Amino acid sequence: MSSIATRTGDDGSTGLLYGQRVRKDHPQIEAVGVFDELNVALGAIKPQLGAGDAALVELIRSLQQSLVALMGELACAEADAARYAASKFAKIGDDDTARLDAGIAALEAKGLKFDGWATPGANARAAAIEHARVTARRAERRLVGLPAHGRSVRPELLRFVNRLADLLWLLAREAEHTAPGAR
């Protein structure tokens, strides 16, 4: 097995999908990095969940898989976007956003009560979900900024990330009232 330490990044560069090298502070790498952080933040919610939370665990797992697909798409150069689109790699599509919309509708149908600006920290689960939400919003800002740096972004990605942050906001409100330690 080869080592993870390839040493090719010792000069401050990293590789995009299909081999092009860019600086580690390149806007695409920054965007991929923040989506990676979001993936970790979603994973940090799982230890806050119990045996009765199987549906939420599955939702988080599917969101993490979607984020891997999104990061893959962002990790290729603009010149390779068509090649990526034609590849067999998983891609975010309208069905992914529709799943988020369904989750939002289900949470809103529960009649969650909230008043004004959220104040995170009601309990550990709500705080973990809020952390994922603010990371999603930061990732969204990086995604929106990519076209100014020459990397197009499919509208499906923008819709998905916006809806994901909305869903996480609602999940945090729900956790404030239903999770152990809820106030």
**pLDDT tens-digit series, residues 132-173:** 999 999 999 999 999 999 999 999 999 999 999 999 999 999
* Digit-coded pLDDT (tens) for 60-84: 999 999 999 999 999 999 999 999 9
Provide the phi-psi class of 139: left if phi over 0, else alpha when psi is between -120 and 50, else beta: alpha
Q: For position 16, what pLDDT does the model report?
A: 86
Residue type, 26: H
SS3 103: helix
Number of H helices, E strands in the chain: 6, 2
Name the residue ranges covered by the structural domains of the chain. Answer: 19-178
pLDDT at 118 over 90: no
Fold (topology level) of 19-178: Hypothetical Protein Ta1238; Chain: A; (1.20.1200)
Does residue 38 contact residue 31 with C-beta atoms inside 8 Å? no
Cut 0.85: pTM above it: yes
pLDDT recorded at residue 22: 86
Tokens linked to 24: 């580690």
pLDDT, tens digit, 9 for 90 and up, residues 10-61: 778 888 888 889 888 899 999 999 999 999 999 999 999 999 999 999 999 9
Whose structure tokens read 């081999």?
19
